[in-house]
A and B are shown apart, each in its own frame.
Chain A
């Protein structure tokens, strides 16, 4: 009866079910006591404390440095798998990675020259 559209329906149902189940699980599996005071109000061992956030001020340098850190951090994520599979990939993998590192070096020279690495 549904024919072709059954697949879309199944897809839509699953797509809806995942976020809804997560939302539902948050409430269903919440084991903290309902009376929240003191340390019970802050996230357990992780995350940013919601009540104190506004009191902090970050310098713009922090964001700049953090963002650049992520850019160069990705390099490591790519280098490790290459190191493991170096022999299988051979020259091809080496050349690919060389291009990647050269591009990162370009970015590095640029941000250095622009003074983005200075803490102001």
Chain B
């Protein structure tokens, strides 16, 4: 008989506290709320999900100033970089719950919607602090599978099913690339943990060719998740087809977590070999600038236009990854926070308009809107100006910090392409503010259903936040500084 000695890993509850909270609340919803009638299931689901997101924020906030530490045998790295990403994800989840409050067609699947949202956030939260290619892959699959279902949660809507199928197939290809790349990196270095990979490379134990191929495949896999061109094909259909609260959550949280993982894996594992990936990431950034901004010019559907605009924003975020200095990490964090706010706000406004019209929203549907709902229209102007990167909005500071880090980091060409992309971006972002104040539109006959107060309040709050954080960027930049310092010393 073979005797095996089993070594168990010490459990660090505080390291995975947010995931435990989120997943247990999802389990509670699936076992208890499912017995409630539909009328009650929605408020209970929303309350449990909102409570879970709020509770999950406690641990990252409490650990914010702690020194970085590893847990679970070096497979997780709890630092301010990961905890900051967690906070962004939970905030996005909270806003997605609030935005969904005004979506009547989600009522009969309220339990599933909230449970899947919690599961997706748990996967993202784990990914944000993962320090191992294996944990990263498992966490990535956890949130991806939840998102595939969320996109198709309105099973009677054909666009949702189409978007989900495309997302499933393309997303699986992306995951396969990431897995294959991880396997090659493991083959080349014999390690899964990021810091041990870096150590193995430093000692010269790695096989150059295999390692290079592995890194390339990991970048491709991350490119799929971060919807960077040329791996963006699924983005417009999935974003357009998904229920708008899901689109808002996906655009903010998935982007945050994909970029945080990309930054972490490339800097922590392959930081000293940046020559092998820096230009590749730069090329992805340039491709994203070009594809996102040029394709967005031709869109009439607002959700589709915003989907292409998120591809354009990946260009800025990948610029920060290519630069990979501490200043770039700080700029990326600030950008991700502002980007999440303005995207969720814009999608929430689209959700309100969708509910008023009962059909997908075109840019023309915003014509003359400023005379009927002045506050919401003003918020939309704030979001569009911020997305375009005009002062005094948060988007302006975000772009400036990215550009200055790119110039300081010796990647001036990315800053130049970014400026050009911003100019092209004005061409489509400004369509909406101009449409809003169009006086020549007759007031439609159909009575306007009132916008949901909660969703409207969310829109106004995010608009105020985007503007205030643009005028007074100091506190948020300080937080971003703490987060970036925890990953990159110096």
Which residues in A have some Cβ–Cβ distance to B below 8 Å?
Answer: 3-8, 11, 85, 88-90, 92-93, 102-103, 105-107, 109-110, 113-114
CA distance A89 to B8 in the complex (A): 8
CA distance A90 to B212 in the complex (A): 42
Out of A5, A90, A106, A113, which one reaches B209, CB within 8 Å? A5
B-side interface size class = 10 to 19
Please tell me if the beta carbons of B31 and A6 are within 8 angstroms of each other in the complex. Answer: no
Please tell me if the beta carbons of A110 and B6 are within 8 angstroms of each other in the complex. Answer: no
CA distance A48 to B442 in the complex (A): 64
Q: A3-B209, A4-B210, A92-B8 are in contact. List 14 more A-B contacts (CB 8 A).
A: A4-B207, A4-B208, A4-B209, A8-B209, A11-B187, A11-B210, A85-B6, A88-B5, A88-B6, A89-B8, A93-B6, A105-B31, A109-B30, A110-B34
Please tell me if the beta carbons of B5 and A106 are within 8 angstroms of each other in the complex. Answer: no
Contacts of A110 in B (CB 8 A): 30-31, 34
Contacts of A6 in B (CB 8 A): 209
B286 to chain A minimum Cβ distance, whole angstroms, is 27
Which residues of chain B from 1 to 32 have a CB within 8 Å of any chain A CB?
4-6, 8, 27, 30-31
Contacts of A106 in B (CB 8 A): 27, 30-31
Chain A contact residues: over half helix, strand or loop, or mixed? helix
Contacts of A92 in B (CB 8 A): 8
Please tell me if the beta carbons of A102 and B27 are within 8 angstroms of each other in the complex. Answer: yes
CA distance A85 to B2 in the complex (A): 11
Please tell me if the beta carbons of B4 and A103 are within 8 angstroms of each other in the complex. Answer: no
A102 to chain B: closest residue by CB = B27
Contacts of B6 in A (CB 8 A): 85, 88-89, 93
Question: Beta-carbon contacts of B199-211 to A below 8 Å, as 1s and 0s?
Answer: 0000000011110
Q: Does B413 contact A (CB under 8 A)?
A: no
Q: Known contacts being A102-B27, A106-B27, A110-B31, is A8 close to B210, with CB within 8 Å?
A: yes
CA distance A6 to B188 in the complex (A): 12
* 13 A-B pairs with C-beta separation under 8 A: A3-B209, A4-B209, A4-B212, A5-B208, A7-B188, A7-B209, A85-B6, A89-B6, A106-B30, A107-B30, A110-B30, A110-B31, A113-B34
